[in-house]
A and B are shown apart, each in its own frame.
Chain A
Amino acid sequence: EVHLEQSGAEVKKPGTTVKISCKVSGYTFVEYYIHWVKQAPGKGLEWVGLVDPEDGETRYAEKFRGRVTVTADTSADIAYVQLSSLSSEDTAVYFCASVVSGTTHFDSWGQGTPVTVS
């Protein structure tokens, strides 16, 4: 069974950088895309970006382009999202989610990592 385990809550100062991890297990890491989704307090879901661990290809939402970096460490089966120049608007829960290569839906989600910028 696919399992995504995220790193713990973060509290950051404005202007700094946060890096969140997503450890995947139960499947072949390179056969899935890993996406990151933001959910601000009381708000809906917002797509941030994705990485294809097989070749490192990344894609980002226009809103976050230039501030976000998504990476994958295939030696440890861990995906990361790094967000820089933090502001209070980045306060949110960030989820990782997996999509089987060749399919079009999220089949598993991490538990979420709360990030507070204050």
Chain B
Amino acid sequence: DTEVTQTPKHLVMGMTNKKSLKCEQHMGHRAMYWYKQKAKKPPELMFVYSYEKLSINESVPSRFSPECPNSSLLNLHLHALQPEDSALYLCASSQGAENIQYFGAGTRLSVL
């Protein structure tokens, strides 16, 4: 099983809403990532968890709050987002020195 599952596939939220994105993998990978991807751009790294501890935070605004409840799950909590936060949010996982990343299909987020 080389699948990373993200839910929901689509999300529309207002600027005052609170929502969460979910990511799950069962490959035993110990590193998990959140990326933000705008149209026609490469993915931008937001957060990395390694062994369930936050390893990298790329100076992401506090309205994005990651959580890693266990080695298979990764959440991204959203609160008071701005319209410019509308994007495709990708989750990935990896294992080993080569850092080959396996990506989910993403959540398409629209902030109104």
A and B assemble together: no
